[in-house]
């Protein structure tokens, strides 16, 4: 396989990771009052950075977003550590990144269309 | 404070929201215990006060300490009260309800200000993203 990644492939894994992160945020908010529940987060950007070689290319088939429990926020009396404000913050950042990826993908498709539109 | 995080303002605004949420929690504890004559140690309830410090890593705010207010208890003349002393006075918590309501208003306004910052920053990034269209 070629060792350089196409823009669309990179955007695809990015959008997949943001989708997964959105799901975990929804899950965390749904379990806001569940006793003993610890919040879940997605580890992706670090894994992507770590698996990059010197030329900046990655084997995207090997790369899977990872779910983990950060266990960093303070625990409430019922053993739960979900904080609504933090989840809203994560959601805002997540949706902004998601929009950026979608816009870039759209831009890429427009470019391809432009190239095909020679009459 | 390091400036490298893309979404730093979001984290800072959220830290403000969490701090004011904690402040409101403490105010509600003070109001709920405004007439508590036994706080578990035989003394009336002492009002709590939260102090905050800035988080030097992110530039946000975080809870420093929750301290007790050591000012005098309120003496209320109520000779019929079972806990009244020989002069007929009962020691009541040092909670002053108007002060608590004032603090509640301040905490609510600061919370609103932080959500305003968050919203405005979100709009700003969306404006930048419009350039990608």
Summarize pLDDT for A76-93 with one digit per residue, the tens: 888 888 889 999 999 999
Number of domains in chain B: 1
- Per-residue confidence (pLDDT) for residue A119, from 0 to 100: 59
pLDDT tens for chain B, 133 residues: list them. 444 567 888 999 999 999 999 999 999 999 999 888 888 888 889 999 999 999 888 888 988 999 998 888 888 898 888 888 888 898 889 999 999 999 999 999 999 999 999 999 999 999 988 888 8
Nearest CA in chain B to A109: B133
Higher pLDDT, B97 or A75: B97
The reply to whether B116 falls in a domain is yes
- By Cβ distance, the residue of A83, A89, A103 closest to B129 is A103
- Write down the pLDDT at residue B16: 93
Domain-embedded: residue B21: yes
**What is the pTM assigned to this prediction?**
0.82
Computed from CA positions of residues B45, B46, B47, B51, in that sequence, does the dihedral angle turn out positive or negative?
A: negative
Measured in whole angstroms, how far is the alpha carbon of residue B132 from the centre of its chain? 42
pLDDT at B119: 94
Does residue B32 fall inside a structural domain?
yes
Which pLDDT does position A4 carry in this prediction? 62
Kindly give the pairing relationship between strand B74-77 and strand B89-92: antiparallel
Let me know if residue B19 belongs to a domain: yes
> Do B17 and A92 make contact, defined as CB atoms within 8 angstroms?
no
Domain range enclosing B101? 8-130
Q: Which residue in chain A has the smallest CA separation from B6? A: A93
Q: What is the mean pLDDT of residues A60-73?
A: 83
The predicted model gives A21-35 an average pLDDT of 92
End-to-end, the C-alpha distance of chain A in Å comes to: 33
Count of A-B CB contacts under 8 Å = 37
- Cα(B58)–Cα(B112) distance, rounded to whole angstroms? 21
Q: What pLDDT is stored for residue A3 in this prediction?
A: 54
Distance CA A84, CA B95 (A): 29
- B66 vs A: CB within 8 A: no
Q: Is B63 exposed, middle or buried (0-12, 13-18, 19+ CB in 10 A)?
A: middle
- ipTM rounded to 2 decimals: 0.76
Domain ranges for chain A, please list them.
Answer: 7-116
């Amino acid at each position: 396989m070629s060792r350089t990644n196409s823009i669309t492939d990179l955007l695809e894994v990015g959008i997949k990771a943001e989708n997964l992160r959105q799901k975990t945020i929804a899950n965390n908010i749904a379990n806001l009052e569940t006793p003993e529940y610890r919040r879940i987060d997605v580890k992706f950007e670090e894994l992507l950075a770590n698996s990059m070689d010197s030329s900046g290319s990655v084997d995207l088939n090997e790369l899977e977003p990872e779910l983990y429990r950060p266990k960093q926020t303070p625990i409430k009396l019922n053993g739960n550590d979900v904080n609504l404000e933090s989840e809203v913050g994560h959601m805002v950042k997540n949706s902004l990144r998601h929009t950026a990826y979608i816009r870039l993908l759209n831009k890429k498709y427009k470019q391809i269309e432009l190239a095909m539109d020679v009459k | 404070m390091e400036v490298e995080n893309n979404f730093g303002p979001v984290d800072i605004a959220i830290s403000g929201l969490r701090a004011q949420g904690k402040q409101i929690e403490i105010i509600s504890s003070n109001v709920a215990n405004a007439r508590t004559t036994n706080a578990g140690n035989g003394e009336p309830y002492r009002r709590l006060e939260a102090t905050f410090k800035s988080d030097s890593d992110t530039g946000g705010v975080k809870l420093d300490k929750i301290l007790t207010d050591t000012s005098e208890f309120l003496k209320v003349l109520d000779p019929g009260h079972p806990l009244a002393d020989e002069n007929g006075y009962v020691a009541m918590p040092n909670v002053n309800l108007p002060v608590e309501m004032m603090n509640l208003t301040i905490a609510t306004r600061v919370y609103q200000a932080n959500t305003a910052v968050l919203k405005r920053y979100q709009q700003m990034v969306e404006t930048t993203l419009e350039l990608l269209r």
